[in-house]
Amino acid sequence: MDTVPSDRLRLIFCFLAVFVCYFYYGILQESITRSKYGDQEESFVYAKSLVFVQCVINAIFAKLIIQLFEKPSIERTPHWLYAVCSMSYLGAMVSSNSALQYVNYPTQVLGKSCKPIPVMVLGVIIGRKRYPLAKYLCVLLIVLGVALFMYKPKKGTDSANDHIFGFGEILLLASLTLDGLTGVAQEHMRANFQTGSNQMMLNINVWSSLFLGIGVLFTGEIWEFLNFTERHPSILYKILLFSLTSALGQSFIFMTVVYFGPLTCSIITTTRKFFTILGSVLIFGNPITSLQWAGTVFVFLGLGLDAKYGKTPKKKSIDTEEIIHSKILIAKNAA
């Protein structure tokens, strides 16, 4: 008798935890990358260093979870596979953060919400997977929504800023493609090596930290980043919170999948993305036209229908599709 109220409380807790973590994550991400700092109004352009800090904290967080809550197990996944997966994972995160220097946050969130498109396309091409007709219809609805959101009618005078597809959108497209490759690699790990989500999170972030650490040292960006934080120490607090909300958000997504399944998790993450866009419009004053709002509704309608009707039947042992996302992304993915 007590299980129903406890399940409801747990669901409410998971919803609020994912929502708060990734909503605040999005606000911090936009604040870090689009704010002006100091009297000279400097911009934060150190996307690789930001992702490096995020990967280090993600790895530490995953290691703590494994040490505290998991039993010792044999690691079967080859390290080279983690290394390859971390490259696409890294590229997706750096491209996504860099895109915010050229597009506003609602555009970035909506673009990253289109992850089912490259995952499906690359799944067909590389993984030779088959999807139900409902999946293709949902993706078509998402594509239509993106087209409406990105469409900018010609005005009387041409402006350098009146572009339909600029460098920021190219970075988002690259991020989506790399997200798709990451998804294919992670699916391969789960199917062939039964890789646990926390082990995956730990190893991918360790390899990403290694690669990115070498990169920022070789290019010298790390020293420019440290000089920037010395000039503007207040940003360190934002970066730390940004990384912590990312790691916490991933763990709460995992908890939601374990207790309520990927469908409930998809609904929660899709809902929070919509409200993240709304929050960005209200807090940062990013303008959204009525046509873009219509496109946004189409995209999230497609995502919701895809969560309900577009899933390919799977065995119960492989029921963790939504666990890893740096767009979590994400994100996300973001959640």
Closest Cα partner for 104 from 331, 294, 280? Answer: 280
The top-scoring range by mean pLDDT among 59-68, 106-115, 304-313 is 59-68
Query: What pLDDT is stored for residue 165 in this prediction?
Result: 62
What gap in Å lies between CA 318 and CA 73, rounded to an integer? 18
Rounded (10°) angle between helices 47-69 and 79-99: 130
Above 60 in pLDDT, residue 154? no
Closest Cα partner for 267 from 226, 239, 309, 238? Answer: 309
Mean pLDDT for the chain overall: 79
CB 124 within 8 A of CB 57: no
Above 50 in pLDDT, residue 161? no
pLDDT tens digits, one per residue of 167-226: 888 888 888 888 778 877 877 887 888 887 788 889 999 999 999 999 999 999 999 999
What gap in Å lies between CA 279 and CA 282, rounded to an integer? 5
Q: What is the pTM of this model?
A: 0.74
Query: What pLDDT is stored for residue 263 in this prediction?
Result: 57
Distance from the first to the final alpha carbon of the chain: 33
Residue 330 token pair: 């994400």
Where is average pLDDT lowest: 15-24, 152-161, 254-263? 152-161
- DSSP class of residue 108 equals H
Give every CB contact of residue 236 below 8 A, 6+ residues apart in sequence: 229
The top-scoring range by mean pLDDT among 187-201, 223-237, 283-297, 308-322 is 223-237
Percent of the chain with pLDDT over 90: 22
Give every CB contact of residue 230 below 8 A, 6+ residues apart in sequence: none
pLDDT tens digits, one per residue of 231-286: 999 899 999 999 999 899 878 877 776 677 655 666 677 677 777 777 778 777 77
Q: Cα separations (Å) of 35 from 27, 44, 106, 284?
A: 11, 8, 16, 10
What gap in Å lies between CA 173 and CA 335, rounded to an integer? 17
Closest Cα partner for 332 from 21, 15, 13, 11? Answer: 21
